[in-house]
Structure 1
Amino acid sequence: MTTFTPLPHPTGNGLPAKADASGPRTAVEAFALTKGYGRGDTRVMALNEVSVGFEAGKFTAIMGPSGSGKSTLMHCLAGLDTADSGRIVLGGTELTRLNDRQLTALRRERIGFVFQAFNLVPTLTAEQNITLPLALAGTTADAGWLDTVVSTLGLKDRLKHRPHELSGGQQQRVAVARALLTRPDVVFGDEPTGNLDSKAGGEVLALLRRSSQEMGQTIIMVTHDPVAASYADRVVLMSDGGLVGEIQKPTAESVLTALGKLGA
């Protein structure tokens, strides 16, 4: 059953209530996160005391009108941008206390990324693109896990192909495989189906959902597409730099209705 739950404004110190120790494990959590751009009268608050947690092994979509802060939130959670104040804890590590070198290492080893642009190296084969992060880190892939990932994503017969020999959907599958190979704490997707047609986009979203359900991978995806969001277990809604609601077990219709109320 689809449920929409409005979220209250933060109170007190802006921290979420502590989770029950016997409850689900949180993969990444933000506490009273604030981020602004500009100065004086032109200053815009992209994030305003945002506190939110993302359950491990679940697929969550972040949605909201343009300028709502959804991309800023994802970039801060992933260590790609820094907040003005607040805390971010990923897998027990507080990102907001790390220096640039430590953040770079954490992103490489414990975070996966899938972007709208596939970001594949054109001169490398699909297999080389998949294993590139490990090669840059001076390590090698676990053969069994690599086989599991490429088999799950339907890439076994495409590993020797270069990006120009693959369809858009296949290239994004390679990007997903690359993100999954290091068994990261979280895979972040920034409009991952934005450059794909509806059929290829649906295939990639189904694969992301499978990676969550069958591999226990935590997925956090920013999208503007209600259909894409319907593949998630949960939708977090943002407006004007704050959280305004969430939808459990979303459908395209329930997401569209909620976005309509936000003026998206």
Structure 2
Amino acid sequence: MRDFAVSAVDLRKSYGKDQTKVHALAGVTVGFERGHFTAIMGPSGSGKSTLMHCLAGLDSATTGQIWLGETEITGLKDKELTRLRRDRVGFVFQSFNLVPTLTARQNILLPLELAGRSHDAEWYDYVTEVLGLTSRLRHKPHELSGGQQQRVAVARALLSRPDVIFGDEPTGNLDSVSGAEVLGLLRRSVRELGQTVVMVTHDPVAASYADRVVLLADGKLAGEITDPTADDVIEAMRGLGSAGVAA
């Protein structure tokens, strides 16, 4: 499992106690290869968001192991987890999480500046050019379209060259055109920049941009699809008794 960018072994996550106890994850073992784009899908309540939050160190597992590369993150203290998320993990959320008073450039650089780290100017120029942001770097979020704001969020996630970028419904607040644009950029970051992306989505079209789709149901793995099409994903979700609504 340690050859993966991120992986989990017999991962279990429960909420509540006794009769109210809910098993959000019920023994999930899964790995995500470096340099690949993977989508996680499942019916509402399947555990897909819980899995991503545990893998990213945003939530703790009840039992089991999580590895980021060769680092086991289960059992790390809060300060160690904070440092790991800051240095080795990137995030792209449904809400863009940009600071409204800062320019696009300042938003992109903010995490590194807060960490007291300098940025690689050549890498910054390359990332912003690939993402089509060069002419928008002096603009503040309210001066950018939704798609452009999400591009800024993607650039921010890429700048530290993280081990993995986690996307939590990254196109959920975008129209279809902007959503396709952002998904295309995530795929390019994998194919051209060697990034690893793990994305939770309820949208079969969004999932079709991935190299692989991991399916969850009732907190357990329920299959996977390689080189998926939207029709493949829709058919698989029907087999799980869902049209693909969000969890």
- TM-score bin (small chain): over 0.9
Partner of 1:98: 76
Identity of aligned residues (%): 69
Partner of 1:13: none
Moved more, 96-105 or 196-205: 96-105
Q: Identify which of 86, 89, 98 aligns with 2:64.
A: 86
Partner of 1:117: 95
What CA distance in whole angstroms lies between the structure 2 residues aligned with 1:60 and 1:86? 21
Q: TM-score, normalised by structure 2?
A: 0.97
- Give SS of 2:74's match: helix
Partner of 1:256: 234
Q: Identify which of 148, 170, 190 aligns with 2:168.
A: 190
Are 1:200 and 2:167 matched, yes or no?
no
Residue by residue over 1:58-96, the C-alpha shift from the partner in whole angstroms, topping out at 9 and shown as x without a partner, is: 000000000000000000000000000000010211001
Partner of 2:245: none
What CA distance in whole angstroms lies between the structure 2 residues aligned with 1:200 and 1:145? 24
Partner of 1:170: 148
- Give SS of 1:123's match: coil
What CA distance in whole angstroms lies between the structure 2 residues aligned with 1:261 and 1:205? 25
For 1:15-34, what aligned pairs fall within 5 Å after superposition? 25-34=3-12
Are 1:215 and 2:196 matched, yes or no?
no
Are 1:153 and 2:143 matched, yes or no?
no
Partner of 1:231: 209
What CA distance in whole angstroms lies between the structure 1 residues aligned with 2:25 and 2:42? 13
What CA distance in whole angstroms lies between the structure 2 residues aligned with 1:124 and 1:139? 19
Are 1:37 and 2:15 matched, yes or no?
yes
**Which consecutive unaligned segments of at least 5 residues does structure 2 have?**
243-247
- Give SS of 1:179's match: helix
Aligned length: 242
**Which consecutive unaligned segments of at least 5 residues does structure 1 have?**
1-17, 20-24
Whichever residue aligns with residue 226 of structure 1, its letter is P
What CA distance in whole angstroms lies between the structure 2 residues aligned with 1:163 and 1:92? 37
What CA distance in whole angstroms lies between the structure 1 residues aligned with 2:227 and 2:162? 24
Residue by residue over 1:33-68, the C-alpha shift from the partner in whole angstroms, topping out at 9 and shown as x without a partner, is: 000111111111000010000000000000000000
Q: TM-score, normalised by structure 1?
A: 0.91
- Give SS of 1:26's match: coil
Q: Which runs of 4+ in 1 moved over 3 A?
A: none
Partner of 2:108: 130
Q: Identify which of 226, 243, 255 aligns with 2:221.
A: 243
What CA distance in whole angstroms lies between the structure 2 residues aligned with 1:160 and 1:92? 39
Residue by residue over 1:90-134, the C-alpha shift from the partner in whole angstroms, topping out at 9 and shown as x without a partner, is: 021100131100000000000000000000000000000001100
Whichever residue aligns with residue 162 of structure 1, its letter is K
Whichever residue aligns with residue 114 of structure 1, its letter is V
What CA distance in whole angstroms lies between the structure 2 residues aligned with 1:137 and 1:35? 31
What CA distance in whole angstroms lies between the structure 2 residues aligned with 1:39 and 1:124? 44
Over aligned residue pairs, what C-alpha RMSD do you find? 0.8
